[in-house]
Amino acid sequence: MSEESATLDAVLIDQSQGNFAYPEDYELDAGRGLGPSTLDYISEVKGEDQWIRDFRHRALEVFERKPMPTHWASRELDEIKFQDIRYYLAKGKRPTRSWDEVPDDVKKTFERLGIPERERGFLAGVEAQFDSEAAYSNIKEEFDKQGVIFVNSSEGLREHPEIFRRWFGKVIPTGDNKFSALNSAVFSGGSFIYVPPGVKVKHPLQAYFRINAEQFGQFERTLIIVDEGAEVMYMEGCTAPKFETATLHSAVVELVAMPHAKIQYITVQNWSSNVFNLVTKRGLAHEGAEIRWIDCNIGSRLTMKYPGVIMKGRKARGEVISIALANTGQHQDTGAKMIHAADETTSNIVSKSISMGEGRATYRGQVHIPKHLKGCRNNTECDALLINSRSRTDTYPAITVRGNRHATQHEASVSQVSEEQIFYMRQRGLTEAAAMSLSVNGFVNDLVREFPMEYSVELKRLIDLEMEGSVG
Amino acid sequence: MDCLEIKDLTVAIQGQRILDGLSLVVPKGEVHAIMGPNGSGKSTLAKVLAGHEDYEVLSGQVLMDGQDLLQMEVDQRSRAGFFLAFQYPYEIPGVSNANFLREAVRARLGSGEDLDAVAFYKRLYGLMDELGIDRKFTARSVNEGFSGGEKKRNEILQMAILEPFYAVLDETDSGLDIDALRVVAEGVNRMRSPHRGFLLITHYQRLLNYIEPDFIHVLAGGKIVRTGGKELALELEETGYDWIKEGALATA
């Protein structure tokens, strides 16, 4: 019956969803442009310690020094005007603890986002981010008892410096790339999670956030540390209202899985088509640990995102499962990075992309297995579906395997929705759009099953929404 | 009014004329069979009625209960009650049979109406049992990895679920062994009703042993050259289609 409700929901879609904005009313605003004073403003508002202030300033220097990666990536990056962006905006209120305290317009946004009632009820365990600052955050009692920490990153910095500082910036160093440096300089918001040894968190932890201010870059910073033998699933979902001018989103997400820990990080992303979404996500897996990135990218002007896993301990496992959908005016440049750094480590990459209209999907994969290791395995599958002849797909797999004691396999395919297939479905009464939507959903179906129920519903809905008007 | 009426239909594909002034009336409650040699335009007729884009209608008209069928979109025709059982059913990877059928049924609901899932599955399972289709097939992708016989049975299942007013079965008997043929025929026979008309397209007389038609038409050179009762099939079985070619040549 799960599939049943999923498809039922797919038809009850509200097309205007996500396409709206509320009047801006921010108490705290760092203004447009980027400079040392921008960082000071953010640190001041947040009451940050000296070490993090220094960290931000060093990061800004790195950012300014690093060139745009346009030599290999898209020229579209040159269109980002860093001096026009506002780097920090907030309502200025402390994160509220009960639903009643959440401002009405924020509640309205949640309603428009279609967050199910039961989930709003479950918001007790949710940190919901409204622009930079958590509008609502409340840890369930259960988590407190287990010693699970789930707060926004500012609070994590303030309240748990001993854990935070140990791992912050260690998986993804400031200088990893230009955008990780930018994030390191101006980050605000994001989640900090710590799960103590042996604790298996039953409920998925969720964060909803959205961008609601024109020209406002969102730079959240998430750090998740899961201690020995512990398990957690984290879900993030994004929608953004549609604006005329480009907005920049550049997050950094660091995961640390201690020996035999398991982390699943799930993203369903639906940006409006003017958003630049340049995200750095990486996990560090110790011995016997498992990190899975499950990632769905829909919308945005340009997305560049290559979740990675560094398998540092023996028998560590890394997995990236991704779905990308690029419509006209959109470019999804996504992929995965798997760095094998210990014996008997295993990685799996399954990527499916759909290009429609003049949409463009690019897969970039990097698998690295050095010579001195043995018994490492990688499996890479990338499938691309083209909806019409104007769409474009590229695959750049880079699999570096040294030594002969490893097993790797790589499969890639490009297919098209055939006219005969659509004709067949229409003969059964489905409209052309519905037929197209169903075939596309069929193409990604095996991956959609990897998402938790409510996300797979949302995903099908988003795909249907994207398919509307792209036919004919 | 209550009939599928094909009037003087002339159709071409890539400039080549396939149907040439074909006329035929299938009233509700009757089963008509079209027989004819390969290349006589049988499958073209099926595709044109369904609205396939590759075919160009040069002249003529098709009325379904008075509605101008050729003016309707492919999916509109289906929802209005026209069904085509495909000679070669297509595969839809990743889309389960149940999901596909549900979407097809839902496409027929009015706005505000919702599918009663429990009733739907009850009906679906009942029909599957009748057609000897394993219930596990609901979870399998549409036609993917199906044998020829399974695909044809699946077409009949779709027809049974959608309950069309007019159904065209394009060479449904081809590639079926005798058991599968019997199951398919039973499925069709159960659906015979005063409210439904059938047009069976077949090359062989064999199918008509199991589904007894009211009328048989012989298609050759893009038009109906002969019409008769069910005994015509037996005659064709004995004489083959060679006489038509000679006859057609003679009148040409």
d(CA B37, CA B88): 18
pLDDT tens-digit series, residues A355-376: 888 888 999 999 999 999 999 9
- Closest Cβ–Cβ partner in A418, A428, A438 for B158: A428
DSSP B54: T
**What residue type is B48 in one-letter code?**
V
d(CA A43, CA B141): 55
Token pair of A224, please? 């998740």
pLDDT above 50: residue A187: yes
- Closest Cβ–Cβ partner in B75, B89, B99 for A429: B75
Tell me the shortest Cα–Cα distance from B141 to chain A, in angstroms: 9
Token pair of A424, please? 């067949």
Parent domain of B128: 3-251
Tell me the shortest Cα–Cα distance from A9 to chain B, in angstroms: 11
d(CA A339, CA A400): 10
Q: Under an 8 A CB cutoff, do B104 and A419 touch?
A: no
**What residue type is A344 in one-letter code?**
E
* Structure confidence at residue A274 as a pLDDT band (50, 70, 90): confident
How many domains in chain B?
1
Token pair of B221, please? 């050179």
The CA dihedral of A177, A181, A184, A187, to the nearest 10 degrees, is -90
Q: Under an 8 A CB cutoff, do A3 and B99 touch?
A: yes
ipTM of the complex: 0.95
Q: Does A215 touch chain B (CB under 8 A)?
A: no
Query: B98: which chain A residues are within 8 Å (Cβ-Cβ)?
Result: 3
Q: Under an 8 A CB cutoff, do A434 and B103 touch?
A: yes
Token pair of A320, please? 């990236």
If you search the block for the tokens 């040409």, which residue do you land on? B252
**Chains A–B, number of C-beta pairs less than 8 Å apart:** 86
pLDDT above 60: residue B228: yes
Contacts of residue A345, defined as CB under 8 A and 6 or more positions apart, other chains included, come to A311, A314, A315, A316, A317, A318, A373, A376, A377
Token pair of B167, please? 């159904």
pLDDT above 90: residue A11: no
- Closest Cβ–Cβ partner in B74, B86, B117 for A1: B117
- Closest Cβ–Cβ partner in B90, B104, B114 for A420: B90
- Closest Cβ–Cβ partner in B73, B92, B102 for A439: B92
Tell me the shortest Cα–Cα distance from A431 to chain B, in angstroms: 6
The H-or-E segment that residue A421 falls in is helix A419-427
Q: What is the pLDDT of residue A292?
A: 97
Query: A423: which chain B residues are within 8 Å (Cβ-Cβ)?
Result: 50, 52-53, 74, 90
Average pLDDT over residues A40-58: 92
**What residue type is A106 in one-letter code?**
V
pLDDT tens-digit series, residues A88-145: 876 554 444 455 555 565 566 556 555 554 444 333 333 444 433 343 344 456 777 8
Q: Does B54 touch chain A (CB under 8 A)?
A: no
pLDDT above 70: residue A269: yes
Best A419, A428, A467, A471 residue to mutate vs chain B (most B CBs within 10 Å) = A428
CATH number of the domain bearing residue B146: 3.40.50.300
Contacts of residue A16, defined as CB under 8 A and 6 or more positions apart, other chains included, come to none
* Structure confidence at residue A252 as a pLDDT band (50, 70, 90): very high
Q: Does A419 touch chain B (CB under 8 A)?
A: yes
Stretch among A368-372, A384-388, A468-472, B7-11 having the lowest mean pLDDT: A468-472
Contact present, A208 and A263 (Cβ < 8 Å)? no
pLDDT above 80: residue A221: yes
pLDDT above 90: residue A339: yes
Query: A11: which chain B residues are within 8 Å (Cβ-Cβ)?
Result: 106
pLDDT tens-digit series, residues B81-95: 999 999 999 999 889
- Closest Cβ–Cβ partner in A1, A419, A439 for B95: A439
d(CA A348, CA B80): 48
Task: Enumerate residues 424 to 443 of chain A having a beta carbon within 8 A of any beta carbon in chain B.
Answer: 424-432, 434-435, 438-439, 441-443
Q: Under an 8 A CB cutoff, do A423 and B141 touch?
A: no
- Closest Cβ–Cβ partner in B52, B94, B114 for A442: B94
pLDDT above 70: residue B238: yes
Contact present, B194 and B31 (Cβ < 8 Å)? no
Task: Enumerate residues 11 to 30 of chain A having a beta carbon within 8 A of any beta carbon in chain B.
Answer: 11
pLDDT tens-digit series, residues B150-175: 999 999 999 999 999 999 999 988 88
Q: How many CB atoms lie within 10 A of CB A32?
A: 15
Q: Under an 8 A CB cutoff, do A438 and B103 touch?
A: yes
> In this predicted model, which residue has the larger pLDDT, A350 or B244?
A350
Strands (DSSP E) contained in A286-406 are: 290-299, 302-305, 308-311, 317-326, 331-340, 346-355, 360-369, 377-386, 392-401
